[in-house]
Amino acid sequence: MKKRIISGCLVLALLIGGFMGIDRFRPEERSISIVNARVEPSEKETGLKVDAKAAVLMDATSGEVLFAQDAHKKLPPASVTKVMTMLLILEACESGKISLKDKVTISERAAAMGGSQMYMEPGEQHTVEELLMGVAMASANDGAVALAEHLAGSVEMFVERMNRRAAELDMKDTNFVNTNGLPVSNHYTSAYDIAIMSKALIRFPETQNWFTKWQATIKVGLPGKEKDFGLTNTNRLIKIYPGAIGIKTGFTQDAGYCLSGAAERNGTRLIGVILGASTSKVRFAEISKMFDYGFSNYESVKVAKKGQVQKALKLEKGAPSKIDVVMEDDVAVLVKKGKKDSIKTRIEMKGYVPLPLKKGQELGHLVIYQDGVEKERFPIVAAESAKKASIKDLYIQMMKKII
């Protein structure tokens, strides 16, 4: 009887004041901090000088620049352009817009592409995965055009998507005009921007199946006239540099010898970009020199895993009344060797987010400090959705506390 009286009073209180005021969560920790401006170490800080028009060395996890030489200079990228082409295709596969198993019919336009190609005939069909392999390994211009047409309907519409995605990635030194990097006016990017889109691309595990494969064979030709076509990887880095995992070569007379490369050792993954080298041998030697510098001086510190709970958050007038706040992605930071113990972390929550909350919604950051100075910050998100609690929800929550 006593419990019924108490319950009735609680319901009455909820009816009077349960929905007054602003619905929000009240995080236990709130703070304001200033993100430090990124420093791009040059020859003066590193002692490195690269024999190319532009170069950059970047941590593939955080995006921290370890070395830069004219990294924001606008230059023609040749076939390194295809990094963005492959990125858009794989992101479309990830979102479900297309599939790696989709059949793509080769158009007259795709088949007419010159330069590096798979020598496909108009009307023959290949899967998205086969075409991606051709682009990744053999730098197939015809494959790049066919993929663009499959996703966007036309090359022109696909190029619009390329530039839109570049803007989303904050690639400020880039303008794409085609999908494959064949010489054309006003088609340019920078070493830094290439590193940014390469960082986005190599998060897809499928890429390593293509980037690290030296040779493969596929069937090309119309039905009844198929023949074997050998693919040989244009990226000799995977043969000559221990730990190399990609990414894309490029060459035209205007662009010179270009390369976006990646390598991994002991959990540390680096991206190097060379633009405008004088020979193919030089580009591979110079990127190897950058990687040697990176691996000799830096190491990766794993801080948290994707989905790892950072805190339990109470929700005022929410259903549920408490949710976990988790890491959006794996978190690792690069430090100079011997400096692991200098890394500390802090949870920084947003001050106000209204209900309802969506699963995956950003609620704050895990802030990384090194020697007391902010180094990086990574999003923490809601592990599940939450809505504004109804009278019934609030009543049930109250009864659980009583019982």
Give residue-wise pLDDT tens across range 317-330.
777 878 889 999 88
The dihedral region occupied by 266, where left means phi > 0, alpha psi between -120 and 50, and beta the remainder, is left
Q: What is the pLDDT of residue 398?
A: 66
Mean of pLDDT values over 202-228: 93
Among residues 162, 182, 184, the alpha carbon closest in space to that of 174 is found at 162
Residue 159 structure tokens: 């190029």
Query: Strand, coil or helix: what is 272?
Result: strand
Distance CA(72)–CA(54), nearest Å, equals 8
Measured CA to CA, the distance from residue 234 to residue 89 in angstroms comes to: 21
The confidence score (pLDDT) of residue 357 equals 84
Over residues 209-229, the mean pLDDT reads 93
Dihedrals phi, psi of 278, to nearest 5 degrees: -80, -30
- Residue 15 above 50 pLDDT? no
Residue 14, pLDDT > 60, answer: no
Cα–Cα distance for residue pair 179/202, rounded to 1 Å: 19
Q: What whole-number distance in Å separates Cα of residue 379 and Cα of residue 364?
A: 6
Tell me which of 107, 139, 198, 288 is the catalytic residue: 139
Which residue of the set 79, 116, 198, 321 is catalytic? 79
Residue 12 has pLDDT above 60, yes or no: no
Quote the pLDDT of residue 9. 52
- Cα separation, 73 vs 5, in Å, equals 75
Q: Report yes or no: 200 and 269 within 8 Å, Cβ to Cβ.
A: no
Q: Is the bond leading into 356 cis (omega within 30 degrees of zero)?
A: yes
Q: What global pTM score does this model have?
A: 0.82
Distance, CA of 389 to CA of 39 (rounded, Å): 47
Least confident of 12-26, 222-236, 239-253: 12-26
Strands, E assignment, 22-102: 54-59, 65-69
Indicate which residue of 53, 62, 82, 107 is catalytic. 82
Q: Is the pLDDT of residue 39 over 50?
A: yes
Distance CA 273, CA 55 (A): 5
Residue 82 falls in the annotated catalytic set: yes
Give residue-wise pLDDT tens across range 80-113: 999 999 999 999 999 999 999 999 999 999 999 9
How much is the pLDDT for 34? 32
Amino acid at 344: K
| CA proximity to 237, closest of 296, 197, 195, 291 | 291
Q: Averaged over 337-364, what is the pLDDT?
A: 88
Burial class of residue 389 (count of CB atoms within 10 Å of its CB; 0-12, 13-18, 19+): buried
Question: Which residues, at least 6 apart from 345, have a Cβ–Cβ distance to it below 8 Å?
Answer: 303, 366, 367, 368, 369
Where does the pLDDT of residue 31 fall: very low under 50, low under 70, confident under 90, or very high at 90 and above?
very low
